[in-house]
């Protein structure tokens, strides 16, 4: 059985590896949102994410810790839930301290904010 076919009933622990080639597939409902997540997504942002997933599928996997708690990708996971997706790509990161996990979350937030600014600039250039 490939990783993409892992049914939720067989998930006892999350298969963690800090390696780019270890993307696994899990049901969005099996993932736990990080309670201290600094970013929220309004309905319009979720709609944009849903459209992106429908058009391009997942460009980046959601990031989780060894307990299945989201490090990054909260909006993607919510969009996937709303789309009714059974499985989504997930990269499990282990071996980081709590401080390193928080730093990883903040770095991801800053990176995504930069992408959003670049995307708006690209759209404005394309619309000229």
Q: What is the rounded distance in angstroms from the CA atom of residue 45 to the CA atom of residue 58?
A: 16
Domain that holds residue 98: 3-126
Q: What is the mean pLDDT of the chain?
A: 76
What is the per-residue pLDDT across 2-29, written as a single tens digit (0 to 9) for each?
445 554 444 555 655 444 457 889 999 9
pLDDT per residue over 97-114, tens digit each?
Answer: 878 777 777 776 666 565
pTM: 0.68
> CATH number for the domain including 28?
3.90.1530.10
Tokens of 116: 């959003």
**What pLDDT does residue 2 have?**
42
Number of domains in the chain: 1
pLDDT for 18 equals: 46
Segment 64-86 mean pLDDT: 92
């Amino acid at each position: 059985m490939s990783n993409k076919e892992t049914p939720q009933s067989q998930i006892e622990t999350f298969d963690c590896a800090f390696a780019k080639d270890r993307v696994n597939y899990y049901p969005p409902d099996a993932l736990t949102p990080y309670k201290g997540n600094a970013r929220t997504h309004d309905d319009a942002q979720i709609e944009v994410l849903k459209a992106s997933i429908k058009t391009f599928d997942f460009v980046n996997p959601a990031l989780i810790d060894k307990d299945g708690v989201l490090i990054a990708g909260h909006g993607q996971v919510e969009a996937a839930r709303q789309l009714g997706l059974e499985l989504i790509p997930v990269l499990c990161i282990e071996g980081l301290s709590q401080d390193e996990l928080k730093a990883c979350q903040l770095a991801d937030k800053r990176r995504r904010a930069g992408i959003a600014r670049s995307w708006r600039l690209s759209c404005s250039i394309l619309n000229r």
